[in-house]
Chains A and B, each alone.
Chain A
Amino acid sequence: MSDTASTYAGTSDYIASPELMQTVNVAVALARPLLIKGEPGTGKTMLARSIASSLGMPLLSWNVKSTSKAQDGLYVYDTVQRLYDSQFGDGDVSDISRYIKLGQLGRAFTAQERVVLLIDEIDKADLEFPNDLLWELDQMDFAIAETGETVRAVHRPVVVITSNAEKELPDAFLRRCVFHYIEFPGSELMRRIVHVHHPDLEERLIDQAMETFYWLREVSGVQKKPSTSELIDWLQALVLGGIEPEAIATRLPFLGVLLKKDRDVDAATFALRTRGAARAGGR
């Protein structure tokens, strides 16, 4: 089926769908960056960790901020430190290479073994950010202008890029990636995910909680739908609070763990009341 020594097949703490596993293996085999998109809270960052542990490679993580520049990932020339050292410090200030600090991409290139490089939430940065990385991701090398040396990748890192779809990514960048969209898990897959995080939960509690969770996602008026990570936190809260399974659907305890906007909470409580009234009326 495959000729690489190790393939990705999920790990014990991360349940991946078969398509996702196949896509990861395709990206590794073709040596292209893997672009993961999905609703917030569907486990995109955890996927990179899972890939790293499954393939036995260390994980380098670059958390992109809105102020990030592509250059920061390659290297940074610490001019202020050099200026400071020249006035107050000791050591050889004329040696520029002491002040060149490699960024995460640079570190991934110079690593002696193959690594997994996670570029998290690439769409948070400026519109031009992904385009600025195109050449480096393709050729796997970059030049340091100050010292004149070229940093070339010893082993081609496995690049995993996550995006929340806040911004459109440029076409030239997308062309080079292998893409996967992590859909919101169905109830069967969700149950397996819950079992991984909470192995010893009462089945009745899980049933009631999941039923209420999926109902809550369908309530109109809820703008930010609760996600997988919020469900897991909610189950934790229910267990700690000692809530009875039957009370979950009728009282919606600890709603603040699932819904974070006050308008959503209002919409949910209203829907709960009408649902309760409908049930009572139907009897």
Chain B
Amino acid sequence: MFAQFFFLLRAHKVPVSLTEWLTLSEALARGLALSSLSAFYSLARSILVKSEAYFDQYDLAFQEAFAGVETPEEIADEVWDWLREGAEIPGLSAAERAALAAGLGALDLEELQRLFLERMSEQHEAHHGGSHWIGTGGTSPFGHSGVHQGGIRIGGESRGSTAVKVAAERRYKGYRTDATVGVRQFETALRRLRQLSTRNDGPLDELDLDATIDATADHAGALHLEWRRPRRNQTRVLLLMDAGGSMHAHISACNRLFTAVDRATHLKDLRRYYFHNCVYDQLYLDPTCHPRNSLPTARVLQELARDYKLVVVGDACMAPSELLEPNGIIWWSATNEEPGIDWLHRLARHFHRSVWLNPVHERSWSTIYGRDTIALVRTVFPMFELTVDGLAAAVRSLMVRR
């Protein structure tokens, strides 16, 4: 049942598994959907979707699967509940309520329900101001804004929205993670940059309880303490950021990444340098990219071991000459004998693992100005977009052991 809904969810990239689908079938078999579409909406969502990041995609799939489904029984149920349980109907005084009950009493409840369903099936068009059909402004027992004392309101101001309408509101659009949002999501992705040390390096500063007990037992109860090396994160990162003019448009995304990297205290070492459009023979210590505050790239390559993880952040959009020609560097007064692309190759060869993060969305990489240089850079580094998902994929690529 509803198999089409399952496949629609997967088409919308909501990670639903067969186990969860079987759980949903079990729940439906037990009647937990309460025979109402909005209850089914909440039930299916609580069983199939395990993160609010997918709520929006769930809504889209739900709309597609159930658009146009009419559920008149849903509205009737509400009225029956009110009348049976004697709940307070909002906006009605006690006298009015008594009159309502009396009015309905003239038509017995089951009789009313039967009549209602009959009218629903017979009626084929909207009707207003009449006394028999379901419509508005009239005196028939079915409709709204009318003057009949006992009847069923259809449409108009409803107490609860129907499920399809709720899905169409798309209230969870802001929770999607495929847009560039939030520092915390970046931090969470960066936390995966974790490679714990082995038992053979580092200082002996953690008490090894099991060994202590064994040693104490071996010494007939005299306390002997044994120590071991705790496992610490060994990951070291070199971050190179493009501070060129075209990056100004992406400044908020880069700021978020920066803040997240700043807070990543779990890294063993983090180095940060800047470049302008492309890496040449100088790396700058601050975003102003002034030659006074720079150091030679060759020295950085000499100092840093090959197990540093290289992360380059930039839009890779520049004039092809900047990348491919000697002296292609954009500053008039500076020179570079080797073209930028050679420096990029050198970086990629030196470090075991490297990635390029691009704040421009992946869908624009083949159409934006700079597509040629983007394509060239992609032959040197694996390129990912600077979103939460892209960063997570980049970190996975950095951590994979071959």
Count of residues in B whose CB is under 8 Å from the partner chain:
30
Given contacts A86-B221, A167-B191, A181-B52, contact A26 B15 (CB under 8 A): no
Q: Give the contacting residue for B213; candidates A2, A3, A83; CB below 8 A.
A: A83
- Number of A-B residue pairs having CB atoms within 8 Å of each other in the complex: 65
Binds A, one of B16-24, B121-129, B279-287: B16-24
Write out the residue numbers on chain B whose beta carbons fall within 8 Å of the beta carbon of A168: 188
Inter-chain contact A174/B42, CB cutoff 8 Å: no
Inter-chain contact B188/A167, CB cutoff 8 Å: yes
Given contacts A87-B221, A167-B188, A179-B50, contact A22 B23 (CB under 8 A): no
Q: Does A160 contact B (CB under 8 A)?
A: no
Q: Does A152 contact B (CB under 8 A)?
A: no
Given contacts A35-B50, A86-B221, A171-B15, contact A30 B43 (CB under 8 A): no
Write out the residue numbers on chain A whose beta carbons fall within 8 Å of the beta carbon of B27: 26, 29-30
Q: Does B39 contact A (CB under 8 A)?
A: yes
Per the bound structure, the CA–CA distance linking A77 and B198 in Å amounts to 27
Inter-chain contact B188/A166, CB cutoff 8 Å: yes
In the complex, which residue of chain B has the Cβ closest to the Cβ of A79? B213
Inter-chain contact A22/B43, CB cutoff 8 Å: yes
Given contacts A86-B221, A167-B191, contact A26 B47 (CB under 8 A): yes
Q: Does B32 contact A (CB under 8 A)?
A: yes
Q: Does A37 contact B (CB under 8 A)?
A: yes
Q: Does A25 contact B (CB under 8 A)?
A: yes
Interface residues of A in 70-124 (CB under 8 A from B): 79-80, 83, 86-87
Write out the residue numbers on chain B whose beta carbons fall within 8 Å of the beta carbon of A183: 171
In the complex, which residue of chain B has the Cβ closest to the Cβ of A23? B46
Interface residues of A in 14-40 (CB under 8 A from B): 19, 22-23, 25-27, 29-30, 32, 35, 37
Q: Does A180 contact B (CB under 8 A)?
A: yes
Per the bound structure, the CA–CA distance linking A178 and B45 in Å amounts to 9
Write out the residue numbers on chain A whose beta carbons fall within 8 Å of the beta carbon of B15: 171
Smallest CB separation, A103 vs chain B (Å): 18
Digitize A172-210: 1 where CB-to-B-CB distance is under 8 Å, 0 elsewhere. Answer: 001101111101000000000000000000000000000
Write out the residue numbers on chain B whose beta carbons fall within 8 Å of the beta carbon of A32: 23
Q: Does A240 contact B (CB under 8 A)?
A: no
In the complex, which residue of chain A has the Cβ closest to the Cβ of B216? A83
Given contacts A30-B27, A83-B216, A167-B188, contact A19 B42 (CB under 8 A): yes
Q: Does A5 contact B (CB under 8 A)?
A: no
Write out the residue numbers on chain A whose beta carbons fall within 8 Å of the beta carbon of B47: 26, 178-179
Q: Does B26 contact A (CB under 8 A)?
A: yes
Write out the residue numbers on chain B whose beta carbons fall within 8 Å of the beta carbon of A280: none
Given contacts A23-B42, A29-B27, A83-B216, contact A175 B188 (CB under 8 A): no
Digitize B283-303: 1 where CB-to-A-CB distance is under 8 Å, 0 elsewhere. Answer: 000000000000000000000
Per the bound structure, the CA–CA distance linking A26 and B47 in Å amounts to 9
Q: Does B89 contact A (CB under 8 A)?
A: no
Inter-chain contact A175/B17, CB cutoff 8 Å: yes
Write out the residue numbers on chain B whose beta carbons fall within 8 Å of the beta carbon of A25: 32
Given contacts A179-B49, A181-B52, contact A26 B221 (CB under 8 A): no
Write out the residue numbers on chain A whose beta carbons fall within 8 Å of the beta carbon of B32: 2, 25-26, 29-30
Per the bound structure, the CA–CA distance linking A174 and B47 in Å amounts to 10
Per the bound structure, the CA–CA distance linking A109 and B159 in Å amounts to 43
Write out the residue numbers on chain A whose beta carbons fall within 8 Å of the beta carbon of B51: 37, 174, 179
Per the bound structure, the CA–CA distance linking A35 and B79 in Å amounts to 33
Q: Does B34 contact A (CB under 8 A)?
A: yes
Per the bound structure, the CA–CA distance linking A19 and B161 in Å amounts to 13
Interface residues of B in 1-51 (CB under 8 A from A): 15, 17, 19-20, 23, 26-27, 30-32, 34, 39, 42-43, 45-47, 49-51
Write out the residue numbers on chain A whose beta carbons fall within 8 Å of the beta carbon of B179: none
Smallest CB separation, A31 vs chain B (Å): 10
Q: Does A1 contact B (CB under 8 A)?
A: yes
Write out the residue numbers on chain A whose beta carbons fall within 8 Å of the beta carbon of B30: 29-30
Inter-chain contact B188/A79, CB cutoff 8 Å: no
Write out the residue numbers on chain A whose beta carbons fall within 8 Å of the beta carbon of B43: 22-23, 26
Max chain A Cβ within 10 angstroms of own Cβ: one of B34, B46, B216? B46
Q: Does B393 contact A (CB under 8 A)?
A: no
Per the bound structure, the CA–CA distance linking A23 and B40 in Å amounts to 11
Q: Give the contacting residue for A1; candidates B23, B34, B42; CB below 8 A.
A: B34
Given contacts A79-B213, A179-B50, contact A22 B42 (CB under 8 A): yes
Between A and B, 23 residue pairs with Cβ closer than 8 Å are A19-B42, A22-B34, A22-B43, A22-B46, A23-B42, A23-B43, A23-B46, A26-B43, A26-B46, A27-B46, A29-B27, A29-B30, A37-B51, A80-B209, A166-B184, A166-B188, A167-B188, A167-B191, A174-B51, A175-B50, A178-B46, A181-B52, A183-B171
Q: A23-B42, A37-B52, A179-B47 given. 9 additional CB < 8 A pairs? A: A22-B42, A23-B43, A23-B46, A29-B30, A29-B32, A30-B23, A175-B20, A178-B47, A179-B50
Give B contacts to A, CB under 8 Å: 15, 17, 19-20, 23, 26-27, 30-32, 34, 39, 42-43, 45-47, 49-52, 55, 171, 184, 188, 191, 209, 213, 216, 221
